[in-house]
Amino acid sequence: MQEKSVSQALDFRRSVRVYDSGKSIDIVKVKKCIIQATLAPSSSNMQLWEFHHVISKNKIQQIAKSCFNQPAAKTAEQLVIVVVRRDLWRKRLDSNINNIKFSLSKIQNLDPIKKKKALQYYEKLVPMIYSDFFGIIGFLKKIYVKMIGLYRPIYQEVGSGDVRVIAHKSAALAAQSFMVSMAGIGYDTCPMEGFDSNRVKKDLNISSKTEISMVIGCGIRKKDGIYGKRFRVSIDETYHIH
């Protein structure tokens, strides 16, 4: 099958609710789409995501029960579960710092001031945003930025809830990249947010500190697997030019 252009893939992608059990999808190709998903933009390049690729039929049925037996999970050939790992922020931060230091070490005659500025963001600002203690530090940070914001522009999203939203937005960007990549090779997907997150974590045997962003059913669509024609509200309602 010839790979589609980005525009063709976006047009092809639909939320497929029922998959054809007689048509399989290649595990290696799905993994490649997951790898491509990791190229998605990530806030501060923190990459606080994990992808759990479920290929066991028994495990799929187990997780389908945690997804309330939705057809998109129950009939899926494979599942890809996008998991948010805010608990790994220090580890991912260190990876970014080490990468910057390594990259800068390759530049000859680098101005020490420029090197300091390049590292300052990750060594000072990012820890300030991500660190918290039972929500207390986040609350104090919110008060601080509100006060400073009265006098000059300042980054406002510094609370624990804000950081959670940031991490999930990055995970969602990766999930969309995965689904478009799958569409590009003619594979179908369906993102699901209806699930018992605690049960899915147990199904995957992952830490309670993780957060399930979405469960994505994967396979080849049946003719009746798409519930109706695509509907979008008028662009006049959603497009604003300034």
Tens-digit pLDDT profile for residues 119-147: 998 998 888 888 876 666 667 777 766 77
In the chain, what are the domains? 6-85+171-227 (3.40.109.10)
3-class SS string, 158-215 = CCHHHHHHHHHHHHHHHHHHHHHHHHHCCCEEEEECCCCHHHHHHHHCCCCCCEEEEE
Tens-digit pLDDT profile for residues 65-87: 999 999 999 999 999 999 999 99
How many whole angstroms separate alpha carbon 200 and alpha carbon 70?
14
What per-residue confidence (pLDDT) applies to 140? Answer: 73
What per-residue confidence (pLDDT) applies to 138? Answer: 65
What per-residue confidence (pLDDT) applies to 144? Answer: 67
User: Radius of gyration (Cα) for the chain, nearest Å?
Assistant: 21
Burial class (CB within 10 angstroms; exposed 0-12, middle 13-18, buried 19+) of 55:
middle
Of the CA atoms within 13 Å of residue 12, those in its CB half-sphere come to: 20
Q: CA 101 from chain center: how many Å?
A: 27
What per-residue confidence (pLDDT) applies to 78? Answer: 98
Tens-digit pLDDT profile for residues 181-212: 999 999 999 999 999 999 999 999 999 999 99
E strand or H helix at 238: helix 235-238
What per-residue confidence (pLDDT) applies to 26? Answer: 98
Q: pLDDT band for position 158 (50/70/90)?
A: low
| Average pLDDT of the segment spanning 84-104 | 94
CB 92 within 8 A of CB 46: yes
How many whole angstroms separate alpha carbon 201 and alpha carbon 204?
5
At residue 177, does pLDDT exceed 90? yes
At residue 176, does pLDDT exceed 90? yes
The string over 62-89, giving b where at least 16 C-beta atoms fall within 10 Å of a residue's C-beta and e elsewhere, is bbbebbeebbbbbbbbbbbbbbbbbebb
At residue 160, does pLDDT exceed 80? no
Name the H helices within 6-154. Answer: 6-12, 27-37, 57-66, 71-74, 89-105, 112-120, 126-130, 136-148
At residue 156, does pLDDT exceed 80? no
Tens-digit pLDDT profile for residues 16-62: 999 999 999 999 999 999 999 999 999 999 999 999 999 999 999 99
At residue 157, does pLDDT exceed 80? no
